[in-house]
């Protein structure tokens, strides 16, 4: 309300100043004809000014603001993968019976183009994701995820998440999986029906985190080659990956 009042007040002041300056112009030169020529010319130019401000300048400012928000968002995504995502993706993907058939698609280098990234993303969107829950140490995974619970909560509270729907959905899936783990005191002696349920929760995370990892790798490759280099040396899909530069 106060902001609207300030805008109205500013508009009135500017309008009064315009009237005063036109009156001073008439007092000095006593020439209505000359004054009206300039006044009508200025009014005729108003639509062009509106066009420039509302469409061109506003668009540029909006794009700049959007870019800044996405930079902040990608910092959040990078923190997620550093703290949780890379290890989580390693554990889950290692339990995929068909991983060896697609593993080579994730071995990237600095020469990869956007088209190659898009091709892999398209391929992974149609991939038949599977998780063999028997290959996962559920108690160990649960301990790890519960140790990161506060971190995940802080991420969910980040307002920049509103700008990135797919990552928000990933966080929801990860947090739900973590809650499922927390509700069970012992994950080593669950009935087959419950294991099947947990397998579905883990698979949901697997689908979303794989695609989000690909999007983030493309961002790093295009904007931060040194971060991309480390990401490839810790690539969760590469059995030969090592952080040691050889």
Is the pLDDT assigned to residue 3 strictly greater than 70? no
What pLDDT shows up at residue 6?
73
What pLDDT shows up at residue 45?
65
Is the pLDDT assigned to residue 161 strictly greater than 90? no
At which residue do the structure tokens 């309300």 appear?
A: 1
Quick check: helix, strand or coil at residue 238? Answer: coil
Spatial CA neighbour of 130 closest among 99, 172, 176, 104: 99
pLDDT in tens, 189-219: 899 999 999 999 999 999 999 999 999 999 9
Query: Picking from 49-53, 120-124, 169-173, 205-209, which range would have the lowest pLDDT averaged per residue?
Result: 49-53
Higher pLDDT, 173 or 13: 173
pLDDT in tens, 54-98: 666 666 766 677 777 778 888 889 999 999 999 999 999 999 999
Write out the two tokens for 12. 């009135």
Q: Do 171 and 151 form a contact (C-beta atoms < 8 A)? A: no
pLDDT in tens, 18-63: 777 767 766 776 766 666 776 676 776 667 766 666 666 666 766 6
What pLDDT shows up at residue 213?
96
């Amino acid at each position: 309300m106060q902001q609207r009042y300030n805008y109205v007040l500013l508009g009135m002041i500017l309008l009064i100043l315009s009237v005063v300056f036109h009156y001073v112009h008439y007092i000095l030169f006593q020439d209505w004809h000359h004054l009206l020529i300039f006044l009508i010319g200025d009014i005729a130019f108003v639509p062009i000014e509106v066009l420039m401000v509302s469409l061109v300048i506003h668009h540029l400012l909006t794009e700049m603001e959007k870019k800044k928000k996405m930079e902040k968002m990608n910092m959040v995504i990078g923190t997620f993968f550093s703290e949780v995502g890379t290890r989580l993706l390693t554990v889950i993907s290692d339990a995929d019976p068909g991983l060896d058939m697609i593993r080579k698609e994730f071995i990237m280098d600095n020469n990869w183009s956007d088209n190659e990234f898009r091709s892999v993303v398209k391929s992974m969107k149609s991939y038949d994701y599977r998780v063999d829950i028997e290959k996962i140490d559920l108690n160990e995974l649960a301990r790890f995820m519960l140790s990161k619970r506060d971190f995940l909560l802080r991420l969910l509270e980040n307002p920049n998440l509103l700008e990135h729907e797919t990552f928000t959905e990933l966080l929801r899936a990860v947090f739900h999986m973590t809650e499922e783990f927390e509700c069970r005191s012992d994950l080593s002696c669950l009935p087959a029906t419950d294991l099947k349920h947990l397998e579905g929760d883990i698979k949901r995370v697997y689908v979303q985190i794989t695609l989000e990892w690909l999007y983030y790798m493309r961002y790093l490759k295009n904007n931060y080659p040194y971060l991309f280099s480390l990401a490839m040396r810790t690539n969760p899909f590469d059995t030969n990956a090592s952080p040691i530069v050889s």
